[in-house]
Structure 1
């Protein structure tokens, strides 16, 4: 007799997600623009129990539910998505956490990452463009060969000050990464940050580094030099 298949299906998984919904977690998440109430630790534990299930991931994504989409991004096979599929997923992502996990957990591992990075960075949709700039910041740090760093600084200098918040954050991260990783561009990166004053007054918890680029750059360089 064949063994009974105990792998959960879409209905069972969505029911479990509904059972995990916590009003207190939902209230916290909603303050950050995320419309779900599932504790992320419990979500990751559920994903670990399910394992890699790419077709289930597609079904979860298609529900449009934020918690289901986050779970989908944990149980999918990143390299199995096509370029146009990933582009559509980014454009359909409604919340910051879904966009962040889509970029960090899936697109960065995709064979289409560079093509999407280039296309998204120039996109008129600020949410899509912020994903492109996040991927650019990642490449500045890890694979800078072939990047036009002076050109990136030109764009940041011209556009970051008035960019919408998510795009401004991503461009600021790229600015800081250029200053931290590339000593030959550090003075200019510091100068741009000082002139634009973006995130200068952002509240920072004790022990954390300010996202204000001049402070961020100086602190990370100091740590490396003293290591």
Structure 2
């Protein structure tokens, strides 16, 4: 299937359209009707095809964009290309997958993190904070963690939803990974009460930072 055309793939995506999947996805702000398991199976069959991925992205169809993310080569994109893609991501799932599956694996990730973190566009800023949370957990050297907590304390409460979620994840990662900042991170979470009442399924960890921090730290101590 190495020579699959854009038209063939779009036809296959259309054939996977499921009204029930569209309804479920719609509840999360995603405007497509393809089951993600079936989308991943299609991507596995297509394997990596960078040019096809670029053409799928250009269709501006949400399912096609998600498929493009799954079959692309993350390291093949230039910095400005990724910046433009992020600004056209539109739906939450496309935004999330683009940041996690592509940008984080790209050589320009740190440059984009710095550029996006204070971008006036909340969607771009949230991507910057998601990349910062990743660095807090995996490569904290050079980060001003106290300074990040200052910004979170001042801005998270009134931030737009997607940006608030990313800042909250960064707050939690600081508390989980860095014991010297844990008490302050928990205190900020308690006072701001962001996501305190977020509905959490049984067996899942609450995104409310104090609960999230304590649960993850507790698990490590159990090992």
Shorter-chain TM-score bucket reads over 0.9
Q: Give me the whole-angstrom Cα distance separating, in 1, the residues matched to 2:80 and 2:4.
A: 28
Instruction: Trace 1:69-84 onto structure 2 (pairs within 5 A).
Output: 69-84=65-80
Residue 135, structure 1, aligned to residue 131, structure 2 = yes
* Paired residues, number: 223
Inter-partner Cα distance in structure 1 for 2:205 and 2:91: 25
The corresponding residue for 1:152 is 148
- Work out which of the residue numbers 61, 65, 72 in structure 2 matches 1:65: 61
Residue equivalent to 1:107: 103
Tell me the CA shift for residue 6 of structure 1. Answer: 6.1
1:28-107 to structure 2, matched below 5 A, reads 28-107=24-103
TM-score, with structure 1 as normaliser: 0.97
Alignment match, 1:15: 11
Structure 1 CA distance, aligned partners of 2:120 and 2:138? 26
Secondary structure (helix, strand or coil) at the match of 1:169 reads: helix
Larger Rg: 1
**1:103 Cα deviation from its structure 2 partner:** 0.5
Matches of 2:86 and 2:2 in 1, distance apart? 32
Contact 1:7 1:50 in 2 (8 A): no
Residue 162 of structure 1 pairs with residue 158 of structure 2 = yes
Q: CA RMSD in A?
A: 0.9
Report the TM-score, using the length of structure 2 for normalisation.
Answer: 0.98
Q: Which runs of 4+ in 1 moved over 2 A?
A: none
CA distance in 2, matches of 1:204, 1:99: 22
Distance 1:75 1:6, change over 3 A: closer
Specify every segment of 5 or more residues in structure 1 that has no aligned partner in the other structure, as ranges: none
Query: Are 1:194 and 2:190 matched, yes or no?
Result: yes
